[in-house]
Amino acid sequence: MKIKPVILCGGAGTRLFPKNYNNDPKQFIDFGGWNLFEKTLDRVNNSIYDYPLISSNYKYEKIIKKILKKNNIRKYNLILEPLKKNTAPAILVSALIKNISDKQPILFLPADQLIDNKNLFNRTVKNNVKNLTNNNICIFGIKPTSPSDQYGYFLTRKNSNQLTKFIEKPKNNIAKKIIKKGAYWNSGIFFVRKDSLIFHYKKLQKNIFHNCSKSIQKSNINKLTIKLNKFFYNKAKEISFDYAILENAKDIIAAKLKVNWSDLGSWKSITHLFNEIKHKYYSKKNTFAKPWGKYFNLHRGNCFLIKELIVNKNSSISLQKHKHRAEYWTIVHGKPKITIDKKVIFPKLFETIYIPLGAVHRVENNFASPVKIIEAQVGKILKETDIIRYVDQYGRIK
């Protein structure tokens, strides 16, 4: 029996931009000819999978269908929520559609994650099908690269895939301690048979099961698209799958993914990614010489611009500020001295520095080796004219 991939694609993705920016959710952001939703669709383009089921929101219908058409995906199901109720209801309604059989394994995938090795990922999925039963849930873990309060963690028994503990988004000092004990990040990807999922909801979340069942029964179906009934879906409890099911389930197993993984949930992670793929974006057209060195415009998106700055030896950019943008600097080479208002810092390699809107700042290079920085500019106006200089060694202050 083939695995049914369910792509969870209804998130608002509000961490990258202020609410008043009205940007596309993270899964649809164009990062230079690709987006995370497309990457997720490509990951499940494999013979082990049935055609995809996409769970999203009414307001994303057009953009999803446009991307499906662009990628020549003609066989799919699209379930649309009339309003956001978090992941627990969204996951259940996806499993309740009739063309998923009771014992069919379902792989739930957030649409906003980047995984570098899809072949290794799919081998891990395939190898874990045999571990699924009618009352267990398999979650996928990622080995942490650093302590973070943005992710949930889990621990397993020694020499076993059986979970012993969940820790939901701990503070950094606690994260450090549990990482030493062998904790993994909860990736948000999980694997379960349909009968097991229904068993858990009937046992743990009767309200959600009843109202989601009614919402499916009374949904509006038009060819490949299922629009859920608003009256009953609105009555379903608003709660995440982690809190509703995982924290109360008795039989949870783990599959540990040995892949490079990111949810691109911060400008730090985005600048790190562009450092790895920047060679794809170099051209003479996007290269600009400056008295202190040069910069490359790697990619311009809606309200953001990714650049690489190269500051030559014994050089510095002007002491400056911006009225319309904030910046994130990830140091990828050299030993810079950075000034932000009255604070002077000497960041380590691959450290990311935040420059708030309106902060007076400068980067200086007092060494022979060049300083290289991947910069993310975030704002509604991203122009070179948005520079107010206070000190400049190249005579550019009028």
- The per-residue pLDDT for range 103-133, each reduced to its tens digit, is 999 999 999 999 989 999 999 999 999 999 9
**What band does 145 get if pLDDT is binned at 50, 70 and 90?**
confident
Q: How far is CA 62 from the centre of its chain?
A: 21
> DSSP class of residue 162?
B
How many helices (H) and strands (E) the chain has is answered by 10, 25
**Residue 346 forms part of a structural domain:** yes
Residues 75 and 217 in one domain: yes
Residues 345 and 375 in one domain: yes
**What band does 150 get if pLDDT is binned at 50, 70 and 90?**
confident
Statement: residue 19 has pLDDT above 90: no
Residues 258 and 276 in one domain: no
- Give me the DSSP letters along 187-238: EEEEEEEHHHHHHHHHHH-HHHHHHHHHHHHT-EEETTEEEPPHHHHHHS--
Which of these, 137, 111, 123, lies nearest to 38 by C-alpha position?
Answer: 111
**What band does 46 get if pLDDT is binned at 50, 70 and 90?**
very high
**Residue 83 forms part of a structural domain:** yes
Domain that holds residue 253: 4-265
Statement: residue 14 has pLDDT above 90: no
Residues 261 and 282 in one domain: no
* Mean of pLDDT values over 152-174: 90
Tell me the one-letter amino acid at 325. R
- Number of folded domains in the chain? 2
Domain boundary among the residues 265, 291, 317 is at 265
* Mean of pLDDT values over 133-144: 96
Residues 282 and 150 in one domain: no
In this prediction, residue 166 carries a pLDDT of: 86
Domain boundary among the residues 222, 246, 265 is at 265
Q: Above pLDDT 70, what percent of the chain?
A: 100
Residues 259 and 292 in one domain: no
| pTM summary value | 0.93
Residue 209 sits in a domain of what CATH number? 3.90.550.10
Residues 34 and 128 in one domain: yes
**Residue 398 forms part of a structural domain:** no
Residues 287 and 336 in one domain: yes
Domain boundary among the residues 265, 290, 323 is at 265
Q: Cβ distance 331 to 353 under 8 Å?
A: yes
**What band does 149 get if pLDDT is binned at 50, 70 and 90?**
confident
